[in-house]
Each structure stands twice: as structure tokens, then as C-alpha cells.
């Protein structure tokens, strides 16, 4: 059991708020967009969802 982290790259503005807020460093900015490079570390806290003004992030339990 874990969490799927999805970033809608069409919505992502690359402001890196998710990078700053995530306690387990799930995100990296690559080519100006956020990528969930460590999604297996996700805690499901949804802090990234709350700070993403673009509404680009979806967290779902898997
Ligand atoms: S839900 Fe929490 S742990 Fe998971 S990517 Fe977002 S900020 Fe990080």
C-alpha cells in the first residue's frame, strides 16, 4: 500500500512549491516542471496538493 503521485504537466508552472513543502523530497524540477522522482517515498499528507496553485497534483492511494 502506498500513494500514487501524479503531476499534470500541462498545468504545472514549475514554481517548485511542492519541492519546498514535501517532507520526503518526492519532487524534482526537470525541464521546468515538477516530476515525482521519489514517489515511493510519499506519505500521502497532501501538503503538495494544498500549496499547488495550479492544481496540478493528484495523490491517490494504491
Ligand atoms: S502528499 Fe506529502 S509526502 Fe506525498 S508528495 Fe505530497 S507533500 Fe510529499
pLDDT in tens, 1-56: 899 999 999 999 999 999 999 999 999 999 999 999 999 999 999 999 999 999 99
CB of 25 closer than 6 angstroms to any ligand 1 atom: no
Q: Which atom of ligand 1 is nearest to the CA of 59?
A: 1
CB distance 39 to 29 below 8 Å: no
The CATH class that applies to domain 3-61 reads alpha beta
CA of 23 to the centre of ligand 1 (A): 7
CA of 28 to the centre of ligand 1 (A): 12
Would you list the domain boundaries of the chain? 3-61
Alpha-carbon distance 1 to 32, whole Å? 30
Amino acid at each position: 500500500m502506498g500513494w500514487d503521485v501524479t503531476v499534470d504537466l500541462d498545468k504545472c508552472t514549475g514554481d517548485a512549491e511542492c519541492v519546498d513543502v514535501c517532507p520526503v523530497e518526492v519532487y524534482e524540477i526537470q525541464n521546468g516542471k515538477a516530476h515525482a522522482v521519489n514517489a515511493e517515498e510519499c506519505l500521502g499528507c497532501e501538503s503538495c496538493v494544498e500549496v499547488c496553485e495550479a492544481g496540478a497534483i493528484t495523490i491517490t492511494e494504491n
